Structure 1
Amino acid sequence: MKAYNYINGTWREAESGERMGSRNPARPGEEIGSSPRSSRTDAEQAVQAAQTAGLAWRDRPAGERGELLRQMALCLEARSGELAELLTREVGKTQPESLGEVKRGVAILHYYAGLAMHADGEHLPAADGVSLLYTRKIPLGVVALITPWNFPVAIPLWKLAPALISGNTVVLKPATGASLTAALLVEIISEAGLPSGVLNLVNGAGAAVAAALVEHPLVQGVSFTGSNAAGRRIAQQAAARGIKVQLEMGGKNAVVVMADADLARAADAVVSGAMKSAGQKCTATSKVIVQPEIRERFTTLLLERLQAITLGPGESPGVYSGPLASEQQQRSVLAAIDAAREAGAELLWGGGMPQTAETAGGYYVEPTLFAGVDPASALAREEIFGPVLAVLEAATLEEAIDLANDTEYGLSAAIFTSSLTSAMTFIRRIEAGMVKVNSETAGVEYQAPFGGLKQSSSHSREQGVAALDFYTHTQTISLTM
């Protein structure tokens, strides 16, 4: 596949003429396509196109914008298999996971289409008893969406849909590791008939293109999902200009398993949360904290499930998890595993690259389980973003909560218990933006606000009605005749 930038309703090469190759992480020798290596010039052209289209899009009746989103959903649904297949080949997800993500994208578009006629303000009593005092939501203008490779359909859409329905125009900058998927996604949804310039796509290296977008004087808002280092840099650039910025970043998500829990159910959820998508989710389970009296039994349950996991190319039937998305990801995860061993953690399972015909040459890492983990170690406190799980012990619920909170992140957390008292204590004290009781840490619902605490987020919320708040300003009007 040969992808292009999409600017002002036309597909075009980067001004430089340079391109970047994309390879299948399951079979790195297989090049699946290329995309433009864009520069600041391309980003500026996309922003200008979005600015030019902005007034007409903003003034378009909300119901018409909603109908366009509904048509985008129908276009995406009609070509869901095609997009899911490319997603699997480019990022490495299993086919069921890829298809599920595309279907989620369809649902997101339908959801925000339904919010087109949602109330966008309120009527307030005026002090003089005569004037009409009310508020309304107005769009920011041009917004830049900077998205990651791990959910290359769902995340762009859960940013794009509320931005468009609120009357903004958009420049999408996807991760280089998902540039082909992003281009096909834009091709599909643009078939709905979006006016030229309302949606623009610029591929290219993150630092150069992202900086050009954040620093552009016409860009009025930036929504970013990715690493903490990149997020902090974007936040500084946005703050220097005084524009709105939304960051969703890392997580070190803990599960607490109490002695009164259904242990088999908990083990299923922990393994699913930690190992699906090769652990490459910001909400993936990274550490599990158990009471001493169930540690041995629960660890055995985890090992049974880990030993049954099948790795292989995402399109192969029956595969539980595919490869990591890139060689860089593989190296990073293996380095974290080596560091954990050197720090004295006990390796119970995995820890290397699988040696099978199905996985040969691919960017795979075995499902890995550590015990005897020092709570102060990097393994217990820092994000790895791979299929690595640490088991820690805590004698009491209070101690378990303290261990769960002992990290700079605060995205997702879960507890397994049959005690309502324990569940409510956990909910009150855990430092996480998303809290689960008797279900895995991974997974979000598009109709509910999503975001983290501490260093996981800039503290605004994505998805649900709450997402509209970021993409709008509140305007107050007093009308006296």
Structure 2
Amino acid sequence: MSNVAMKSAHGSDVGHTGVEEFQNYIGGEWCSSKAERFDNINPAETSDIVGRFQASSAEDAERAVAAASAAFRSWKKMPISKRAVILNKAADHLEAHADRTAREMTREMGKSLGLAKDEILRSAQTLRFYAIEGQTLSGEVFPNDDPDMTVYTLREPLGVVSVITPWNFPISIPSRKIAPALITGNTAVFKPSSDAPLSGYRLAEAFVAAGLPKGVLNFVTGSAAEIGPAITVPPAIRAISFTGSTAAGERICRSVGFTTRTQMELGGKNPLIVMDDADLDHAVDLTVKGGFSLAGQACTGTSRVLVMKQVLAEFTERLVARVKTLKIGGGLVAGMDMGPLATARQLETVLNYIEIGKREATLLHGGERLTGAGYDGGYYVAPAIFTGVTQEMTIAREEIFGPVIAIIEVDSYADAIAKANDSEYGLSAAIVTRNPRVMHDFADDIQSGTVKINRTTTGNLVNAPFGGLKQSSTSTFRESGRTGLEFYTQTKTVYRGC
């Protein structure tokens, strides 16, 4: 831990080393942990320390849960219109500081500056959506035969919820979890990924600036191994909303009781089907955007491209030509198409999968770690394209979470659907075709929670439900849209006589 030279009123210290240290926010106070600290590293230039954060202990997490529990009753009783005002003010804060926060996001996890700013503005839109939509969530009145009795339902908050989020969309994913939780009267403990904690800090800061009462939102950084059980297992935790790997989601579900609601958004192995009548240039655009935007580090990213054999050679040629033109570099540099992988661990994982792919199939392009000027200080990999991929291969089945595309030949629509559905995942899927009948059939036939027709597998609307099937999501409640409110509420049926 560095010696403190200057203390900020907003939960951060600037030490003599020049590295800013950021604190937890527990019970309405910015506070430091008695535990160690960890550094947040720029994946485009690892000598750049973006910030220093609390490697919190289980005791810190327990205090956060206790603070959220203590704040619940009064927050639940606050009129929903006043809760909505706070969400709107937090959105104002995000928008007012979008340029600064976008630069920080790019530095801490690598996405381009434009994508980072878009994410921040979309997150503000999410807060505003729930500020309005939350005020329309109500119960029902039921007809009955007793003229002296009224039967109706109430929707009420659950209590304390835990929000655990990944590094790839470090503000938008927390926003779509925290906003519906708070507007419906719950209190929350928020643990961001240790690989992108500053963006989560800025979101918490926006709520603080908006006047959120003490204890309603608590922000704690640190490792999942150390603080995860303290914010998932206790009986005081009534719900957990988690986005991350399928393995981590399964561990959380096994650790909690049946009275704790879980909302798990997990892995994907998302297919894009290219039919023989497809606009091939459009199909290439969708493949590149879905597979290589954010360096392939999106849960809805395209990783399998199933191409009709009639157009396989031409599509592949056009795809390789397009990928060769991509500009790879730091996200703060204008005009870059793809940035670095987010962490050294992710770099190692992706390179290992590429080596497996080389033994299984044909590496047609890319796949090497980039070195030289502009690359040596970061985690850069050339986007990889594999051909000759078959269903049983590792690179066709396991989530890589990197810029790796597996091209699979298919000989009919039925073959394409069978291969697309032959996966433990079912998060997002897309097709490129001009045939209205195929479009209609695809929506029915594909086993995926998100279905795209002539659109990339990535992206979802603020006001539409989002979630997957099979191993990609729990089958309880969807995120986003109006359904995002339902997860955080329970129904009480009231029989009232005269």
TM bracket, shorter-chain basis = over 0.9
CA contact (8 A) 1:76 1:189 kept: no
Q: Which amino acid aligns with 2:456?
A: E
CA contact (8 A) 1:93 1:322 kept: yes
SS at match of 2:232: helix
Q: Which amino acid aligns with 2:44?
A: A
Q: TM-score, normalised by structure 2?
A: 0.95
- The aligned residue for residue 99 of structure 1 is 117
Q: How many residue pairs are counted as aligned between the two chains?
A: 478
Q: How does 1:107-126 map to 2 (within 5 A)?
A: 107-126=125-144
Residue of 447, 466, 473 corresponding to 1:450? 466
SS at match of 2:195: helix
C-alpha separation in 2, matches of 1:393 and 1:193:
56
Query: Is 1:437 paired with 2:459?
Result: no
Q: CA deviation at 1:127?
A: 3.7
- The aligned residue for residue 27 of structure 2 is 8
Q: Which amino acid aligns with 2:333?
A: S
- The aligned residue for residue 378 of structure 1 is 394
SS at match of 1:172: strand
C-alpha separation in 2, matches of 1:116 and 1:250:
29
Deviation track 1:77-109 (CA, whole Å, cap 9, x = no partner) reads: 101111111110000111011111101111001
Distance 1:227 1:119, change over 3 A: closer
Deviation track 1:360-389 (CA, whole Å, cap 9, x = no partner) reads: 221011111000002111111111000000
- The aligned residue for residue 192 of structure 2 is 174
Q: Which amino acid aligns with 1:5?
A: N
Q: CA deviation at 1:241?
A: 5.3
Residue of 44, 58, 70 corresponding to 2:76? 58
C-alpha separation in 2, matches of 1:430 and 1:297:
25
SS at match of 2:327: coil
CA contact (8 A) 1:36 1:203 kept: yes
Q: Which amino acid aligns with 2:116?
A: S
Residue of 304, 307, 332 corresponding to 2:324? 307
Residue of 22, 47, 69 corresponding to 2:65? 47
- The aligned residue for residue 428 of structure 1 is 444
- The aligned residue for residue 165 of structure 1 is 183
Q: Which amino acid aligns with 1:133?
A: V
C-alpha separation in 2, matches of 1:228 and 1:384:
13
CA contact (8 A) 1:15 1:41 kept: no
CA contact (8 A) 1:66 1:115 kept: no
SS at match of 1:116: helix
C-alpha separation in 2, matches of 1:475 and 1:241:
19
CA contact (8 A) 1:14 1:36 kept: yes
Query: Is 1:293 paired with 2:318?
Result: no
Q: CA deviation at 1:116?
A: 3.3
Query: Is 1:402 paired with 2:418?
Result: yes
Q: CA deviation at 1:350?
A: 0.3
Q: How does 1:341-360 map to 2 (within 5 A)?
A: 341-343=358-360, 345-360=361-376
C-alpha separation in 1, matches of 2:205 and 2:69:
21
- The aligned residue for residue 321 of structure 1 is 338
Query: Is 1:193 paired with 2:246?
Result: no
Deviation track 1:237-295 (CA, whole Å, cap 9, x = no partner) reads: 12x35211110000000000101111111110111000000000000000111111100
Q: How does 1:123-134 map to 2 (within 5 A)?
A: 123-134=141-152
CA contact (8 A) 1:65 1:116 kept: no
CA contact (8 A) 1:83 1:185 kept: no
Name whichever of 417-426 and 161-170 sits farther off.
417-426
Q: Which amino acid aligns with 1:325?
A: A
Q: How does 1:134-153 map to 2 (within 5 A)?
A: 134-153=152-171
SS at match of 1:331: helix
C-alpha separation in 2, matches of 1:461 and 1:143:
16
- The aligned residue for residue 70 of structure 1 is 88
